[in-house]
Structure 1
Amino acid sequence: MSDVDPLNVDEERFWRALMRVIIALPRSLDEDLLRSTGLSLTEYIVLVKLSEAENQELRMTDLAAACALSASRITRIVETLQARGQVVKRRHEADGRGLVASPTPDGLKRLQGAYPVHLASARKRVVDQLDGQSLPSLVGQREAVAKKLG
């Protein structure tokens, strides 16, 4: 590890600010959604992923991967949404061992109602804090980092 160059002052400031954003932003987005819609950020993301999937359904393993959640965590979230009538879960038609989740009409309605709240939160907490002229450069840089991460 001694071969690693130390961060300069600006790199260190950037890194520390990024770590604060990584920790604080999900909490803030979650609070905004919960307070206004009763959906947690994780539940919102699950509904988004399902609504955007082909035929609006995903195998539970694929849903877990799409949401960056463990199998047990996605099971708990889907069961909560299912108990509220927002998601249905069934056996996969081609593979009886696998389970598939899909949003119900009520789940899609909840998602549609939560979208403006989430958008307003994202805008207030992040987008409006950025310099619009720098945005294309910031996007390209973050996309490059994301691509390297997988």
Structure 2
Amino acid sequence: MTESLSPERLACWRAYIESSQRLFTRLEEDLRADSELSFADYHVLVLLSEAPGQRLRMGELASRLVFSPSRLTYQISSMQKRGLVAKESCPADRRGSEAVLTAAGLLTLREAAPHHVRFVRTNLMDDLDDAEVACLTRVFERLGRRLRAARDASSTPADK
């Protein structure tokens, strides 16, 4: 049987789970009320806006969003219907597809971003000092690297 967590570590785990769920739920509600975007919509728009040529291969986008291929297909289809993104053949490899940010998608992102940033500041960042920001960044970057490595190690060659 696995050893249970110490009371301090259990309190840390529960505080993380409960506060992150509350934060994400409020973030999702706030984005929808202000811009009619889901968090997934917003994240796709941000990633595409930052990508060279404002386009990313579908596999790369799915990996960065931590989405399954089918979930990404559904997400992109929904955003295509609203004119926020397009899906095009990859110029370098016609077998692949890329998600491409449209002008309407970029405008939607630019309109939503100031309100979103205010939300993030008010509900998280303004409560942290510089040392806490640095500590959380180190912790979550390390955790992200470890989780990506574990996922990559468990993937079959066909999954990659």
* Partner SS state of residue 124, structure 1: helix
* Structure with the higher helix share, 1 or 2: 2
* TM-score, length basis structure 1: 0.87
Task: State the alpha-carbon separation in 2 of the partners of residues 60 and 8 from structure 1.
Answer: 42
Letter in 2 for 1:39: L
Structure 2 counterpart SS, 1:24 = helix
Tell me the amino acid that sits aligned with residue 50 of structure 1.
L
Aligned position for 1:113: 111
In structure 1, stretches of 5+ residues that fail to align are none
SS at match of 1:134: helix
The structure, 1 or 2, with the larger RCO (C-alpha pairs under 8 Å, 6+ apart) is 1
Shift of 1:139: 2.5
Matched with 2:55 is: 57
Runs of 4+ in structure 1 over 4 Å off: none
1:127 has 2:140 as partner:
no
- Paired position in structure 2 for 1:44: 42
CA distance in 2, matches of 1:90, 1:140: 37
Look up the match of 1:14. 12
2:151 corresponds to: none
> For 1:30-82, what per-residue CA distance to the aligned partner results, in whole angstroms no more than 9, with x for missing partners?
11100000111000001111111121111112111111111111111111211
Aligned residue pairs, count: 148
Q: What is the deviation of 1:25?
A: 2.4
Mean Cα deviation higher: 11-20 or 121-130: 121-130
Normalising to structure 2: TM-score of the pair?
0.82
49-58 vs 132-141, greater mean Cα deviation: 132-141
* C-alpha distance 63-139 of structure 1, shift in aligned 2 (>3 A): closer
Distance 1:128 1:89 in 2: 38
Instruction: State the Cα RMSD in Å.
Output: 1.8
Mapped partners of 1:133, 1:91: distance in 2:
45
The aligned counterpart of 1:98 is 96
Provide the C-alpha distance between the structure 2 equivalents of 1:149 and 1:140, rounded to a whole number of angstroms. Answer: 14
C-alpha separation in 1, matches of 2:63 and 2:136: 26
